[in-house]
Homo-oligomer: A and B are copies of this chain.
């Protein structure tokens, strides 16, 4: 578990390696994402951004920053809920072949886990069978009920 500033530093390093510019604004949005308990909609983030950083910010500001962060692998977009969250593996050396998001429909929380090798190879088999070529790591979203909510 590393602190916020360490994470931001690490994120900056990653951008440099990948030829991306980590500007103040983008860092602010990433910081916002990192401070959240759960995934947020773009407009929720916009509201917080306006409150904390820039009162007159407009949607494109947030969407551009989010697009950038997603491109750089520092954030993820959950397409099944139209939400965004910081990547849970900014500080670790992650060598994923894909990511699995477990979305709890009860509490709205998300668990992000690397796809296990076994699952990856099974999926690859299935893709190969169809002659389908994947360009980016697949992000798989599965809905259900998380462990905490299952207890209650």
Contacts and interface: CB of A to CB of B under 8 A. Distances in A.
Contacts of A79: 79-80, 141
A150 B146 CA distance: 39
Interface string A108-135: 0001010110110011011100111111
Interface in A21-35: none
A139 to B, nearest CB: 9
Contacts of A14: none
A20 interface: no
Contacts of A55: none
A136 interface: yes
Q: How large is the interface on A (under 10, 10 to 19, 20 to 34, 35 or more residues)?
A: 20 to 34
A102 interface: yes
A138 interface: yes
Nearest to A142: B138
A73 to B, nearest CB: 16
B111 A132 contact: yes
Contacts of A104: 132
A135 B126 contact: no
A116 to B, nearest CB: 5
16 contacts: A79-B79, A111-B132, A116-B122, A122-B122, A123-B142, A130-B147, A132-B142, A133-B145, A134-B144, A135-B143, A136-B143, A138-B140, A138-B142, A140-B140, A140-B141, A141-B141
